[in-house]
A and B are shown apart, each in its own frame.
Chain A
Amino acid sequence: MKTQNIQVTDIVQATTTNADAMPLYLLLKKEMTNDTCIVLSFRDATPLSSSFLNTAIGNLVDDFGLDYVKAHLKIVQCSKSVFDTLKRYFDNLAKVQDL
């Protein structure tokens, strides 16, 4: 599987709204469609809102399924708060899938 490094702060200007997340979602979708493994760096990223994650990650899960997204995504270089937010988001995605 091909690997692509992506720095979140190179792609989005902010991490608050659905609109902020759209460029990242479109890029991740393109790479995942090509079966690329993405190493996604959150270094220097601002705090992530649920709306941002719904568009950037939630839409991908709708498109490809949670297992596929997890298999194609490595999330690295997160601050503690960004790590906690992402972990909780993915944990809740798994909970919803199990319902």
Chain B
Amino acid sequence: MKLQINTDVSKGEWVAFIEQNRCKNQSGSVATLEIDFSMSSFIEPFYLVSLACLIEEYSINGTTISFSPFDKLELREYLLSGYFLSFWKKSFDRYEDYFTASNSTSLRLWKIDSTKVSEYVYKAQNYYEIRYLQEKNATPLNISLAELFNNIIEHSASPVSGFVLNQYYPKNGKLKIALCDLGVGIAHKINSYLAGKGEATLSDKEAIIKAFELSFSSKSIPQNRGRGLDTLKTIVLSCNGTLRLIANNYSLSFNVKGKGKFDGFSLKNEFCGTLFEIILDTNAFDKKSEDEFDLLF
């Protein structure tokens, strides 16, 4: 099977492409999957993490992964520096020297490992602080990643544990996080929870908005208290950022210009999973400080 990658499409069309070509939607097993980037000139993190999930699902099911030769030098360099082209080689160590080997504005593609998320968020924060944000405190990146990882690990039930990619843009100081899983999708998760309680289910749009409500939780584990996505929203807005979330039949977004008001549109085709794209403005990060504070009740 050969997949021609064309990222010159809308994000809605892209997730439809991903869904249509997933392993579970093919008749019979697929021996080889060849990925062809010859039609692509540039590929954003949003597209790469979802494509990585698609490829990984095939790989888990025994499919051999390969990439067609292509001559777009800039794209090739980008994919090579992120180790995308070597990620599914048998000899490739996905976790060795993860942060020390890179000196790029983007971190290497990372398959989310629940036993390593604490280490990852700490090192990602340090990576950008040391290389690009010397006087700034990149705590918003740390917490955003932590909330996203915990959300996937606790709620998604994804057959692929998910992929993340971080990209910093030095010209404008923006930091992009893209993260994808192929789980049940937030809207579906919320509605399953409501149905289980005998309550009326919601449209996908309403269900996703509900997920951002403070103190609302689908209680995948007893500790859940409905804080994660509310925290994420607070960080995005405090960092002059934007958030896009695609899950099931809806694409939701909000940004600081719209004062956090939810916007979005329905998708023509369902995407079984959840795909986040977050952009933080590092110019809004606090400066590093040695000051200490006490919280008195």
Contact = CB atoms under 8 A, between A and B. Distances in A.
B81 interface: no
A71 B229 CA distance: 29
Given A20-B118, A47-B146, A54-B223, A83 B293 contact: yes
Contact of B295 (A16, A43, A58, A78): A78
Interface residues of A, number: 42
Given A49-B231, A81-B286, 6 more contacts: A18-B223, A46-B142, A50-B147, A75-B295, A79-B293, A89-B227
A52 B48 CA distance: 30
Contacts, number: 105
Contacts of B296: 74
Interface string A36-65: 000000010011111111110011000000
A27 interface: no
A4 interface: no
Given A50-B225, A50-B227, A78 B146 contact: no
Interface residues of B, number: 37
Given A16-B117, A17-B117, A79-B292, A53 B146 contact: no
Interface of A: 13-18, 20, 43, 46-55, 58-59, 70-71, 73-81, 83, 85-90, 92, 95-96, 99
